[in-house]
Structure 1
């Protein structure tokens, strides 16, 4: 089942940088959550809320529940449940108020 996550405003610049590098190729993207969404499976999509609406989505290619990784663009360390993603798509989804963690897709 697809999930929805909010990109914090403080991360917009990093997200833009990471997206630019991803679009050039040769870069793997991931999203970190506290816990694994029980209903999320490989090939589901993660929808990203930015600027108050669903702006993009990516396909889940693997889920690692106790992982650690370093973002090659920002050089920051992440650990916990890492959801690895590909197939970036621009979306024109519904307006959404920001929230923490994740929600299952409702539209």
Structure 2
């Protein structure tokens, strides 16, 4: 009886496709130094890190090959969140707008 509860609860949570782990997978990738340099230059030209460029290229290749998993989320956006669309709203823009109106 006691074996059912731990195994059952763990197996159920692993089988749930909608629930993905929050952490991103870490992968050690060995590259030819010239390939890495070219990739880093390309990433810099597109204002991405080398890691983001690799993920972008892998996602593009998976999509073109028809192998992109359905549950794959978008690439996480880095940096500051976008500004609020409604500048007159008091909900989210209180800190930045109070200094301007004085």
State the TM-score, normalizing by the size of structure 1: 0.22
Q: Determine which structure has greater relative contact order: mean sequence separation of CA pairs < 8 Å that are 6+ residues apart, divided by chain length.
A: 1
Higher strand share: 1
Asked which structure has the greater CA Rg, the reply is 2
